[in-house]
Amino acid sequence: EDQVTQSPEALRLQEGESSSLNCSYTVSGLRGLFWYRQDPGKGPEFLFTLYSAGEEKEKERLKATLTKKESFLHITAPKPEDSATYLCAVQKRNDYKLSFGAGTTVTVRA
Amino acid sequence: GAVVSQHPSRVICKSGTSVKIECRSLDFQATTMFWYRQFPKKSLMLMATSNEGSKATYEQGVEKDKFLINHASLTLSTLTVTSAHPEDSSFYICSAIGLVGQSSYEQYFGPGTRLTVT
């Protein structure tokens, strides 16, 4: 059975304190792994898609990496505006559906 | 690019009435749209997949007669919650896939609709 597990559930950081979020997955025939950011009461905002092990993508203070079993979202020198829930999702080949993890809620204190 | 809108953003209805939620892709043609439901502090749960011009495909456990989906054009899908009950109160989010940029697999999400049934 396909599974997507994110850890930790919640992460409290001091401004400038870098950290990483983990998304481990078990899926047969992975097409891609997606990272989204969701603010309270809003829809998810697309961040990255990773398609193959070893791939890395960056956007401002965020960097996503992918292995055959997991993905990491690194937040470098976070700011309070990086506070949000970060969602990881996987997509299988021959299917456009996304299966989401439960998310990691990040709170960055000034 | 890749903007998806939803209307309304919030709706309050009485138990037993029906409510319609619209999902539009504003700057691209969406061959496929998805409808999700999200409970407080929980992740997104896929309800159904909607393809333009054909019947929606519902996930296991989702009542197709209660949650009517119509994908009338390449830019519009609607979700109608029929005979709503308080337990249908939730945050409903749509997403769309189309040929955006270099990838046709990325889903772009709408801002969500908060439904409260009293």
Q: Which amino acid is at B114?
A: R
The minimal CB distance from A43 to the residues B97, B103, B110 is found for B110
What does the pLDDT look like over A45-54, one tens digit per residue?
999 999 999 9
CB contact under 8 A, A91 and B105: yes
- Mapped onto helix, strand or coil, the DSSP state of residue A95 is coil
pLDDT for B99 equals: 65
A6 pLDDT higher than 70: yes
The minimal CB distance from A97 to the residues B6, B49, B108 is found for B49
Q: B107, B23, B35: which is closest to B66 by C-alpha? A: B35
Copy the structure tokens of residue B61: 């456990």
- Mapped onto helix, strand or coil, the DSSP state of residue A5 is strand
pLDDT band of residue A80 (cuts 50, 70, 90) is very high
pLDDT band of residue B69 (cuts 50, 70, 90) is very high
Count of pairs with CB atoms under 8 A, one residue in A, one in B: 55
Contacts of B32 in chain A (CB under 8 A): 96
Q: What is the mean pLDDT of residues A58-75?
A: 97
Q: How many CB atoms lie within 10 A of CB A3?
A: 11
Contacts of A101 in chain B (CB under 8 A): 43
CB contact under 8 A, B105 and A32: yes
Contacts of B50 in chain A (CB under 8 A): none
Asked if residues B102 and B10 have their Cβ atoms less than 8 Å apart, the reply is no
What does the pLDDT look like over B14-54, one tens digit per residue?
999 999 999 999 988 888 999 999 988 888 999 999 988 88
Give the gap in angstroms from C-alpha A94 to the nearest C-alpha of chain B. 11
pLDDT for A70 equals: 97
pLDDT band of residue B106 (cuts 50, 70, 90) is confident
Q: A31, A52, A22: which is closest to A98 by C-alpha? A: A31
pLDDT for B102 equals: 54
